[in-house]
Amino acid sequence: AQTVTQSQPEMSVQEAETVTLSCTYDTSESNYYLFWYKQPPSRQMILVIRQEAYKQQNATENRFSVNFQKAAKSFSLKISDSQLGDTAMYFCALGSGSRLTFGEGTQLTVNP
């Protein structure tokens, strides 16, 4: 069985500052992918960033970057220069085959 754990139900950050969201996972698969999705109040699930487990280099996407520690099964998301539009629920997800396993989510609030 695959599990994804997000231990921070809520976080807040001031606009323009940096925040890191934590995620740990467990899987017996050797070929898998990791994702961060955001879900704003509109409930639309939006892809933030993706990491292939076989790649050692951490993925980056503009202000978003990850710290992927494969041995520790850790996959954290760093948001730099936080913006008000980053306010959303953030989900960490593990993909293996055609199935995504999601964490419980972290509600991030960016304060002006």
Partner 1 sequence: KAGVTQTPRYLIKTRGQQVTLSCSPISGHRSVSWYQQTPGQGLQFLFEYFSETQRNKGNFPGRFSGRQFSNSRSEMNVSTLELGDSALYLCASSLIRSSGASTDTQYFGPGTRLTVL
- The binding track of 34-73 with respect to partner 1, each residue x by CB under 8 A or -, is -x-x----xxxxxx--x-----------------------
Beta-ladder partners of 4: 25
Report the C-alpha gap between 39 and 41 in whole angstroms. Answer: 7
For the record, the structure tokens of 72 come out as 């520790």
Q: Is residue 24 a contact residue for partner 1 (CB under 8 A)?
A: no
Give the residue ranges of DSSP H helices in 7-108: none
The secondary structure of residue 85, as a DSSP letter, is: G
Choice from 31, 69, 109, 111 touching partner 1 (CB under 8 A): 31
Residues that bind partner 1 (CB under 8 A): 31-33, 35, 37, 42-47, 50, 91, 95-105
